[in-house]
Chains A and B, each alone.
Chain A
Amino acid sequence: MATSDQTAMGTSDKTPATEIGHTPEKTPWPLWEVFVRSSRGLSHVHAGSLHAPDAEMAVRNARDLYTRRNEGVSLWVVPASSIIASDPDAKGEFFESPKGKDYRHATYYKKSEGVKHL
């Protein structure tokens, strides 16, 4: 129908890829960690990660990837590089110390006589 006009209008099917420059080497988008709050009163919980070119797009991608089934009312994204993690080789120093220290749990203590509402 309007075929000939379209060609005259310079809207041929050639994609710019064949006309414009070359595809520059692709640098991967940075990684972001996503935290979703599922409802008021709860805290944000780590949901996963994603790639995005910048913070604003990261929030949008998080909306598409992690809240598409009505999972949340609020989102945080954090650059993965900003997260300081504990050293997996230092498990002993970090996490074994509480073992055997039962007195740090409330259940360790016996209820005193005469105390109500515990």
Chain B
Amino acid sequence: MSGESATRITPGNALRPEDVAERVAGGIKVGEDVGEYALRLGDDALILAQRLGWWISRAPELEEDVALGNIALDLLGHARSFLTYAGSAWGKSEDDLAYWRGEAEFRSCFLVEQPNGDFGKTIARQLVFSIFQHELYSRLIDSADETIAAISAKALKEVDYHRDHAIQWTIRLGDGTEESKLRIQAGLDSVWPYVAELFQDDELIERLDGVAARPSEMREPFDALVAQVLDEAGLELPDVQPAMTGGRSGKHSEHLGYILAEMQVIAREHPGATW
């Protein structure tokens, strides 16, 4: 890269989706279990990215448009890497997986499908998901699967910022006006039924011992940090029953269909189009 440009472009050692594609093209092939696990990781990131993208031009201030947009794009980057890798188990590309799978083939959790609601609800969802994802990637950097470890190492630094962003806003909304406190508390109450699903182990996790991070082990550090943040924000830990979920096995809430319709429409109307 020449030094001609006014803006220096220095990607450093970060693993990009293109690098993962190169590895895959170079003959790396993953087993179906690892592929299935990478689908879970990629789908969570993809669906949340799609949700967050909605905020652009709608956030409370222009600066927040950019902040949420950046977070969405980071997540899209994780999704591209994980889906590219997952696809090698079935000879599919990231686009095949993102645009040509139906609802029941997605492995995303219920939480990321939940509607944005107001800014308070979106921040509540961000708080839960970013703390979970931080715990997840902090473990996956030691995964026995090198590609998953490398993608996670790059993603972890980004999620570190997502988590900070969500914590800062939770504290400000909780400790802000009467109205902001009501809204963030209502947001927490409405996303809380979907927390339990994030920490459920299943047979795939058992089979991928050493490769996958065990969800149930992440619950304790998650609860500890959430309690600390809510305490500082003057908010209550919601006392609600877990919702019926099943995202990891392809069962989804009524929201996913609409998200996919919007996300996939262009690719399906114009198959093979590039832009």
Contact = CB atoms under 8 A, between A and B. Distances in A.
Interface of A: 1-3, 5-6, 9-11, 13, 15-17, 19-24, 29, 50-54, 56-57, 60-61, 63-65, 68-71
Interface of B: 7-10, 61-63, 66-67, 70, 110, 114-115, 117-118, 120-121, 161, 164-165, 168, 172, 177-179, 182-183, 186-187, 189-190, 193, 240-241, 243-246, 251-254
Contacts of A2: 110, 243-246, 251, 253
Given A2-B244, A5-B244, A53 B172 contact: yes
Given A16-B186, A20-B183, A64-B66, A1 B246 contact: yes
B179 A23 contact: yes
Given A11-B114, A57-B172, 9 more contacts: A1-B244, A1-B246, A9-B193, A10-B190, A11-B190, A16-B120, A17-B118, A51-B63, A70-B8
B185 to A, nearest CB: 9
A11 B7 contact: no
What are the 3 closest A-B residue pairs judged by CB atoms, nearest first? A2-B244, A16-B186, A61-B63
A61 B60 CA distance: 13
Contact of A3 (B115, B183, B253): B253
From B7, B63, B172, B244, name the one whose CB has the most chain A CB atoms within 10 angstroms.
B63
A105 B258 CA distance: 69
Nearest to B242: A9
6 contacts: A6-B193, A9-B193, A11-B243, A16-B120, A17-B183, A64-B66
B10 A9 contact: no
A20 B186 contact: yes
A88 to B, nearest CB: 27
A10 B118 contact: no
Given A21-B182, A24-B177, A60-B165, A11 B63 contact: no
Contact of A24 (B70, B164, B179, B241): B179
A51 B59 CA distance: 13
Nearest to B183: A16
Nearest to A9: B193
Contacts of A51: 61-63
A20 B243 contact: no
B189 A10 contact: yes
A68 to B, nearest CB: 6
A51 B66 CA distance: 12
A51 B10 CA distance: 28
A68 B7 CA distance: 11
A11 B183 contact: no
A70 B244 contact: no
Contacts of A54: 172
Contacts of A70: 7-10
Contacts of B10: 70
